[in-house]
Amino acid sequence: MPAPDRPAPDQAQSAEPQPTEPGSTEPEGAEPGSTQPKPGYHALDARSLRGLAHPLRMRLLASLRHDGPATASQLAARLHESSGATSYHLRQLAAHGFVADDPDRGTGRERWWKASVQGTHFSRELHESTDPEVRGAADLFLHEVATTHTQELSTWLGTLRDWPSEWAHVGDLSDYTLRLTPERLREMNKKLHEVVESYQEADADAGTDANAGTGGGTDSAPENSAQIRVHLHSFPRALPRD
C-alpha cells in the first residue's frame, strides 16, 4: 500500500495486490512548460507535424527508436503492414528528418533505416494554432500518442503471466485526483519528469541507452534489465453540472 504519509490513490492497481509508486515520463519528448527541445529531440513545426501525424509513420518511428534499425520488410513484419506501405512512409519520415539510412548495416540489396531523433517536442504554438490543417494534424498526433499508450498497457496486461514473477510484481497502474492551479500542475509535471530523467542520466553515465534505435540498445544493458515504458498523463477534468 502507499506510504501512510502520502494520500492514497483513487484507484491503485498493479500486477500484485498492492501498488508500487506511481511513475511518470515524458510523452515522446513533449516536456511540460518548456519552450526548447532537449538535445536529440526534434522540435515540431507545422510542416514537420504534418509529416509525422500519421498512425503508421508514428508507429514506424517508435519501432525504430525502441527496437532498433530495420529494413522496410522487417518493419512490415513487425507492424503487420505491407512492405510497400512501410517503404513509402519511411521515405516521408526521412524527408522531415525523423529517420535516416543506416550505412553500417546496408548490404546494397535492401535499405536499412534508423531513428534520427530520440523524441519529439510539441510546442505551445502548435496547441494554439488557428490553422485548421495544423489543428487537425495536432489532434491526430496527440490522439495517436494516447492510443499507443493504451495499446502498450494492454499488451503488458495481456502478457503479464509470461514474465518472471520478479517483473510481474513491479509494474504500476495508479491514478490520483488533485486540485491544482495551472502553475502547480506545471510544477508537478516538471518534478515528475526530473525523477525519470535522473534514471536516464544514470543509464547514460553507465554507457547504456534504453532506446535500441538511438545509440545504446540492449548490447550494453545490465544483466536482468528490461526496457521500461513509463507514461505520464495529467489533465484537468470538467466537473458534472447539477
pLDDT for res 115? 95
Q: What is the pLDDT of residues 117-164, one digit of tens each?
A: 988 888 888 989 999 999 999 999 999 999 999 999 999 999 999 999
Whole-model pTM? Answer: 0.77
Judge whether residue 3 has pLDDT over 70.
no
Virtual CA dihedral for 131, 136, 138, 144, nearest 10 degrees? Answer: 180
Place of cell 530523467: 197
Rg (CA), the chain: 19
* Residue that wins the pLDDT comparison between 61 and 109: 61
pLDDT for res 32? 44
* Inter-residue contact 44 to 122 (CB < 8 Å): yes
Judge whether residue 170 has pLDDT over 50.
yes
pLDDT for res 34? 52
Judge whether residue 2 has pLDDT over 60.
no
Q: What are the chain's domains?
A: 24-205 (1.10.10.10)
